[in-house]
Amino acid sequence: MTKYHPLRQLFLARLRTFYREPDAMFWTYGFPLILTVGLGIAFRNRPPEKIVIDIADSPRAVEVKTALDADERFKVNICGTDECADRLRLGKTTIIVELGEEYAYRYDPTRPESHLAHISLDDALQKLAGRADAIDTKNVEITEPGARYIDFLVPGLLGMNLLGGGLWGVGFVITDMRVKKLLRRLLATPMSKSHFLLSLVGGRLVFMIPEILVLLGAGWLIFDMPIRGSVFAIVVLCLIGAISFAGIGLLVASRADKIETIAGLTNLVMLPMWLFSGIFFSHDRFPEAFQPFILALPLTQLNDALRAVILEGQSLFEQGVPILVISTWGAVAFALSLKWFRWT
Amino acid sequence: MDQPMSAVVICKDLRKRYDSKKKGVDALNGLNLEIREGECFGLLGPNGAGKTTTVEILEGLIRPTSGHVEVLSRQWNGRDDTAIRQRIGISLQETRLKDKLTVFETLVLFRSFYDVGRDPEVVLEMVQLQEKRNSWVVKLSGGQRQRLAVACALVGDPELLFLDEPTTGLDPQSRRDLWEIIRDQQTRSRTTVLTTHYMDEAERLCDRVAVVDHGKVIALGTPSELIAKLGGDHIIEFDLAAGEGAAPDIESLSGLPEVSTARVGSDGYLLTVTKPHIALPALIAQLESQNHELARLSTRHVSLEDVFVTLTGRHLDDDEVSPA
């Protein structure tokens, strides 16, 4: 009777109900992709903005403007004294220079961009007047892939997606089936309960593969993100994360008998991790006193481990602590759900 | 009960109390049943009588507060549950299946849970859903979903089939198709437990029926036995035109020849009679002598509905009034 093997049929049913649900497909694959591309473009590394400088109209204004225009750091305007003052007040320019016997700079030193403009403009005008550099310098510019925001972001989004997948793909699905009394109908058959749970976790692991491909693929193809560690190590970390988060999903769904309840519990679990676990910015920015709590969260450990492998090329063996923390969460969640789970 | 037929279901002194914050509700008050192998057994009663509670206890879906339950010589104790479920088929009163699985995929899924069972293609034909084979469940009409729910109950080829209100919402043709399925169970000596609102259905299909009210069995027997208890095969229903004169009293009506019982119904008088050709002329003669004018008169066979009304004073489709 292999034709009707229950685990296989339950697993097929899970796959079918997933890929036939456009909403589930979008939130699992489309939304993270849009988030990656959107944030990657919004926070891409741009050349420094030009410094806007106004020269108060005077006989030498055009000559000085031509000289400054050659320097690509500056955007230079010439205007009347009153108009220049208005522009400074409205923030349209950062500094005004009046070219008299001595040069007069008008600016607000408490505005950082005006402060920068003052130093840069004075330096440029002094050089034009013939000042020589006392020592030779050279600049080494660093904008290599791997140190940009997008490189930081993609592993974090991958971790976030695995968390969401466990909570929605297991917790929400179970609660929905309980609310619609489908769980009760299945319970009325000789179906093995472990087959049922295995099919849900198995489904999560299969849906995880395109999640990894979509996110890392977008980072790699669109943003030239480096993947320095082994793909095997990344997949193993994602696997451990996905199983643990499936356990947490099962735990929050063990008693929930209303959609509102599961939605609330899911947010309760996800929000702290979205905030503290270093998805969009490093968790090091939180005060030292918070760190033990933050480091105890499974998503923090998963994100840190993914970044260490993807961006720093660390091996799986160096991720012992993260793997231990994530697995402990998973094991405790599965154990508690077996104790608390209600089918009807 | 002395017959040597083996019982597939035995309930003794079954009680179920639902506790809510203010007061508890007793859904079952010491219900006793014995269902025999190969029969179609009907549970009749108004909403809230305890039919569904009884069936769901027998199906192992809820636990009774107290009492003894035996299904296929086993008990719901956790150890034997899967063994019982391998041999029973269930159609719940309201079954929601996965919206985005097709009819056939749903049947194959349910088939996979049973060690032995029917070919899903055959079951599809039994419930006349071949044309909907590849439709998603969400696209089915109410009647088609009901038939799929019954198909899910049949796919394990159950020895004991539970159908809770299976024909509610079905069109006449689908109802007749379902009756065929139940008769097929009977000819194969398989047992069916049926709850229904439709008396004609119970009379046609059931070998025996139990009338349930306030969580107890108040009458048990074959449909013809129960009807015979009313003391007549026929009912004369009549109503009088509004007019002069005192209303005829029940006692004088029940004293008419061949009339076994008389009562006042919601829209007129009802007499249970053995021989209408003798009772009718006597009735008309009496009404004429009292100057009453008939507004309407009809005769029909006694039904299970009459049995129920006589026993409880209520109609089967009345909603439950608070237990006395």
pLDDT band for position B263 (cuts 50, 70, 90): confident
- List, in sequence order, every beta strand (DSSP E) within chain B: 7-19, 24-36, 40-44, 66-71, 88-91, 160-164, 191-196, 208-213, 216-221, 234-240, 259-265, 268-273, 294-301
Q: Does residue A7 have a pLDDT over 90?
A: yes
What pLDDT digit, counting tens, does each position of B220-232 carry?
999 888 888 777 7
Q: Is the pLDDT of residue B322 over 60?
A: no
- A17–B85 C-beta distance less than 8 A: no
Substitution target in A4, A11, A175 with the highest count of B β-carbons within 10 Å is A4
A4: which chain B residues are within 8 Å (Cβ-Cβ)?
108, 111-112
The C-alpha of A292 sits at a distance from chain B's nearest C-alpha, in angstroms, of: 44
Interface check for B156 against chain A (CB to CB < 8 A): the answer is yes
A199 CB neighbours in chain B (<8 A) are none
- Give contacts of B97 with chain A, Cβ < 8 Å: 182, 185
Per-residue pLDDT at B22 = 67
Strand order in the sheet with A74-79: A74-79, A51-56, A95-99, A103-106
Question: Which of A90-94, A173-177, B24-28 is predicted with the least confidence, judged by mean pLDDT?
Answer: B24-28
| φ, ψ of residue B41 in degrees (nearest 5) | -110, 125
Contact A185 B96 (CB under 8 A): yes
Q: How near does any CA of chain B get to the CA of A279, in Å?
A: 34
> Which residues of B, range 88-147, sit inside 8 Å of A by Cβ?
90, 92, 94-101, 105, 108-115, 136
- Among the partner residues A5, A180, A181, nearest to B112 by beta-carbon distance: A5
Q: What mean pLDDT, rounded, does chain A reach?
A: 90
In A, minimum Cα distance to B149 occurs at A185
pLDDT at residue A132 is higher than 90:
no
Are the beta carbons of A190 and B105 separated by less than 8 Å? no
**pLDDT, tens only, A288-300:** 999 999 999 999 9
DSSP, residue by residue, A200-234? HHHHHHHHHHHHHHHHHHHHHHHH-----S-HHHH
Which residues in chain B have their CB less than 8 angstroms from residue A187's CB?
Answer: 61
Which residues, 6+ apart, have CB-to-CB distance to B245 below 8 Å? B290, B291, B292
Task: Say if B60 is an interface residue toward chain A (CB within 8 Å).
Answer: yes
Give the span between the Cα atoms of A244 and A334, in whole angstroms.
Answer: 8
Residue A180 has its nearest CB partner, among B82, B96, B111, at B96
Cβ separation A13–B96 shorter than 8 A = no
The reply to whether residue A17 touches residue B100, judged by beta carbons under 8 angstroms, is yes
Does the pLDDT at position A85 exceed 70? yes
Tell me the three state secondary structure of residue A121: helix
**How far is the C-alpha of A316 from the C-alpha of A305, rounded, in Å?**
9
Number of residue pairs across A and B with CB atoms under 8 Å? Answer: 68
Contact A191 B113 (CB under 8 A): yes
Interface test with A, best of B104, B109, B148, B161 (most A CBs within 10 A): B109
Higher pLDDT residue, B233 or A227? Answer: A227
- Taking 80 as the threshold, does the pLDDT of residue A1 lie above it? no
Residue that the structure tokens 């009153």 belong to: A82
Which chain A residue shows the shortest CA-CA distance from B92? A185
Task: Report the residue of chain A nearest B116, measured CA to CA.
Answer: A1
Give the list of residues 6+ apart from residue A134 with CB closer than 8 angstroms, or none: none
pTM: predicted TM-score of the whole model, two decimal places: 0.79
Helices (H), A167-319: 173-179, 182-187, 193-223, 231-252, 259-276, 291-296, 298-312
Give B316's pLDDT tier (boundaries 50, 70, 90).
low
CB contacts, 8 Å: B52 with chain A: none
DSSP assignment string, B52-102: HHHHHHHTTSS--SEEEEEETTB--SSSSHHHHHTTEEEE-SS----TTSB
Binary contact (B113, A189; C-beta < 8 A)? yes
Helices (H) and strands (E) in chain A, counts: 15, 4
Give the gap in angstroms from C-alpha A180 to the nearest C-alpha of chain B. Answer: 6
Residue A2 has pLDDT above 60, yes or no: no
| A150 to chain B, closest Cα gap in Å | 38
Half-sphere exposure for A73 (CA within 13 Å, toward CB): 9
Q: Cα A24 from chain centroid?
A: 21
Distance CA B255, CA B286 (A): 11
A108-to-A85, A95, A161, B45 alpha-carbon distances in Å = 12, 8, 46, 89
Measured between beta carbons, which residues in chain B are less than 8 angstroms from residue A21?
100
Separation of alpha carbons A147 and A145, rounded Å: 6
Give Cβ neighbours of residue A280 (< 8 Å, ≥ 6 apart). A39, A153, A156
Any bridge partners for residue A95, and if so which?
A: A53
A-chain residues near B100 (CB < 8 A) = 16-17, 20-21
Question: What residues contact A256, with CB distance under 8 A and at least 6 apart?
Answer: A171, A175, A178, A262, A265
User: Predicted confidence band at B248 (pLDDT cuts at 50, 70, 90)?
Assistant: confident
pLDDT band per the 50, 70, 90 thresholds, residue B324: very low
3-state secondary structure of B262: strand
Q: Which residues of B touch A182 (CB under 8 A)?
A: 96-98
The dihedrals phi and psi of A16, each to the nearest 5 degrees, come to -65, -45
Interval A219-225 mean pLDDT: 88
**Subunit contact B92:A188, Cβ cutoff 8 A:** yes
Q: Tell me if A96 sits within 8 A of A88, measured CB to CB.
A: yes
Nearest to B111 among A4, A16, A187 (CB): A4
Query: Which of chain B's residues have a Cβ under 8 Å away from the Cβ of A190?
Result: 82, 85-86, 113-115, 156
Task: State the pLDDT confidence band at B1, using cuts at 50, 70 and 90.
Answer: very low
Predicted ipTM beyond 0.90:
no
SS3 state of residue B194: strand
pLDDT at residue B312 in the model: 75
B44-101 per-position pLDDT tens digit: 888 788 888 999 999 999 999 999 999 999 999 888 999 999 999 999 888 889 999 9
Task: Please say if the pLDDT value at position B244 is more than 70.
Answer: no
Contacts of A119 (CB under 8 A, 6+ apart): none
For residue B104, pLDDT beyond 50 = yes
Cα angle: B240, vertex B243, B245; to 5 degrees: 95
**Nearest-CB residue to B109 (from A9, A21, A181):** A9
Contact assignment for A13 to B114 by CB distance below 8 Å = no
Residue A249: per-residue pLDDT: 95
Q: Do the Cβ atoms of B85 and A1 come within 8 Å?
A: no
Q: Look at A4 and B101 and tell me if their CB atoms are within 8 Å.
A: no
**What angle (nearest 5°) sits at the alpha carbon of residue B130, between those of residues B128 and B132?**
105
Give the nearest chain B residue to A1 (CA atoms).
Answer: B115
Distance in Å, alpha carbon of A206 to nearest chain B alpha carbon: 19
Q: Which of A10, A21, A344 sits opposite B100 (nearest CB)?
A: A21
